[in-house]
Structure 1
């Protein structure tokens, strides 16, 4: 396996021109750095941000349908099916028949709930690590500003 190349958000001696003025470029560069830390934090469990998010959404919305989960996460239904298949095989999540024969309700198993508790601690530590250079006020402001971008 090839060693992971560490992402460098800013390389000395490289002229970025217009890129330095673009919000999207700055957000993407930050996202790459954040994702790298998340991956290093969760790689032993093979948990991606998508997988983590799906566990959190299902835990907090017991009985949510696969279609609704796909909508909430902004991914194709087939992508959610693949995620759920993996969790179901690992005994972390279960599908239950709903009133509609074409739809299943999703629930975490007891093992899924226990494991998610550990994942949440690790992700919270990751989030604190990547945002350590910001004050509480700046963190709140950044979340607010990113939320505005997400609804534009």
Structure 2
């Protein structure tokens, strides 16, 4: 009969923690990788006085002139009241403008300003460098497979 091994006890004097059970889960690895990416992205965007959400909104508005706030909220997968704070910040900084939609006076179309376009393009360059630096050990095929896999997870999550 095999002896039963005792679970390793975490030593309070070290930073080692047994996370073997969690490391069997894809979500755990995704979260740890996201934490690294998010922290580095925050540092990358800081010189532009942007956060991940304000950057995302600015890029989407730049790439989709006339986007309505409701469309932006859906694209960013955030609640509309939470979006208002982001839109207010970008508008206060004169990076975007809100224009009433002529066919629906309750709706606003979002447009990037020239200052917003310039800042966005500078930030996009920095973000691309950030991502390339963090993913430099992954070839294009591996990157494509990872993106496809995450897309499938997202798609499966929206079914339920």
- TM-score where L is the length of structure 1: 0.88
| CA deviation string 1:57-114 (max 9, x = no partner) | 1111111111110011000111111111111111100000102121100000111111
- TM-score where L is the length of structure 2: 0.84
Equivalent position SS for 2:137: coil
Equivalent position SS for 1:101: strand
Detail structure 1 runs of 4+ shifted over 6 Å in the superposition: none
What is the number of equivalent residue pairs in this alignment?
142
Q: 1:146 aligns with which of 138, 150, 153?
A: 150
Deviation at 1:14, TM superposition (A): 2.2
Partners of 2:118 and 2:149 lie apart in 1 by 33
Partners of 1:49 and 1:146 lie apart in 2 by 19
Q: 2:129 aligns with which of 125, 131, 136?
A: 125
Aligned match of 1:8: none
Aligned match of 2:40: 37
Aligned match of 1:82: 85
Deviation at 1:50, TM superposition (A): 1.3
Aligned match of 1:72: 75
Structure-to-structure mapping, 1:4-43, within 5 angstroms:
13-43=16-46
| CA deviation string 1:16-50 (max 9, x = no partner) | 13201111111111100100110111112231221
Aligned match of 2:65: 62
Partners of 1:141 and 1:79 lie apart in 2 by 32
The answer as to whether partners of 2:91 and 2:97 remain within 8 angstroms in 1 is yes
Larger C-alpha radius of gyration, 1 or 2? Answer: 2
